[in-house]
């Protein structure tokens, strides 16, 4: 069953396609992977559909709908590096996003937030960039500065691998093991629509997980399912999971 939010997005996408067919250009805000996955299923021969997130291999991207006869204009994306004193502040995705949301900025105005050995970066829409430069001055009470990045940032996503022993490959079992939750807690997250498999919402707690699946759990993170090995002496499964560091 499709949620109202998803149904609205599908109708909005159809409207964007029709505008492009009539000669218009539509630039969306940043879309998440589930929304992008839907757009990638659309095969239109009479318009162009292009996307970019400001980073190579970005997970959140803006999408352009435009006539075939037109060149692709700018995606209007700004990428900033956060400069801060590492002695007084440790940054992560949640802390940065929370600070931006507290400024009244909508999630769809922010693209990827990347914490790597190269530094800490985030993308945003050009339309909101002046406001961010003016208001984004501290994180957790510690002063920060923003440097606009002109060159394309190459993201190197670091993964941490863990071995889990599970009783089955049911989705609730895997999530409970991955995040050290009770089965009830994992089941509630699934039925509340907080879990996606391969960028599609999954409401079935008994859904069977397979190798190479990508499981996204809102407020928790993402799990990459690796090798599903043999069984232990107690007839339990050996499951290799990878997490973004």
- On the question of pLDDT at 56 being above 90, the answer is no
SS3 content of the chain, % helix, strand, coil (to 5): 25, 35, 35
Residue 76 · residue 51 · CB < 8 Å: no
Predicted confidence band at 43 (pLDDT cuts at 50, 70, 90)?
confident
Q: What is the pLDDT of residues 78-128, one digit of tens each?
A: 999 999 998 999 988 889 999 999 999 999 999 999 888 778 999 999 999
pLDDT of residue 96: 95
Question: Which residues touch 43 (CB under 8 Å, ≥6 apart)?
Answer: none
Q: What is the pLDDT of residues 188-235, one digit of tens each?
A: 999 998 999 988 889 999 999 999 999 999 888 889 999 998 888 888
% pLDDT > 90, the chain: 70
Q: How far apart are CA 85 and CA 60, in angstroms?
A: 28
Q: What is the pLDDT of residues 163-184, one digit of tens each?
A: 999 999 999 999 999 999 999 9
pLDDT of residue 245: 67
- On the question of pLDDT at 2 being above 70, the answer is no
Of the candidates 16, 108, 17, the one whose C-alpha atom is nearest the C-alpha of residue 62 is 108
- On the question of pLDDT at 156 being above 80, the answer is no
Flag whether the pTM goes above 0.85: no
- Tracing tokens 């006869």 back to the chain, one arrives at 69
- On the question of pLDDT at 244 being above 80, the answer is no
């Amino acid at each position: 069953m499709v949620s109202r939010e998803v149904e609205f997005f599908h109708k909005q996408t159809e409207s964007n396609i029709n505008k492009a067919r009539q000669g218009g250009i539509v630039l969306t805000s940043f879309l998440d992977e589930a929304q992008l996955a839907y757009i990638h299923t659309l095969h239109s021969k009479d318009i162009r559909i292009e996307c970019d997130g400001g980073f190579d291999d970005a997970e959140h991207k803006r999408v352009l709908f435009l006539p075939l006869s037109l060149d692709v204009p700018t995606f209007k994306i700004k990428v900033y590096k956060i400069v801060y004193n590492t002695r007084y502040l440790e940054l992560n995705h949640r802390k940065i996003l929370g600070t931006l949301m507290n400024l009244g900025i909508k999630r769809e105005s922010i693209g990827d937030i990347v914490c790597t050995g190269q530094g800490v970066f985030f993308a945003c829409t050009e339309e909101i960039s002046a406001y961010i430069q003016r208001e984004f001055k501290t994180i957790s009470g510690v002063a920060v500065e923003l440097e606009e990045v002109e060159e394309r940032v190459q993201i190197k996503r670091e993964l941490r691998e863990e071995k889990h022993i599970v009783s089955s490959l049911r989705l609730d079992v895997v999530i409970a093991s991955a995040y050290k939750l009770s089965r009830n807690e994992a089941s509630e997250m699934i039925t509340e629509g907080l879990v996606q498999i391969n960028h599609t919402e999954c409401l079935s707690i008994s859904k069977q997980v397979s190798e190479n699946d990508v499981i996204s759990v809102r407020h928790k993170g993402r799990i990459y399912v690796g090798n599903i090995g043999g069984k232990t002496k107690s007839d339990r499964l050996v499951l290799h999971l990878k997490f973004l560091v």
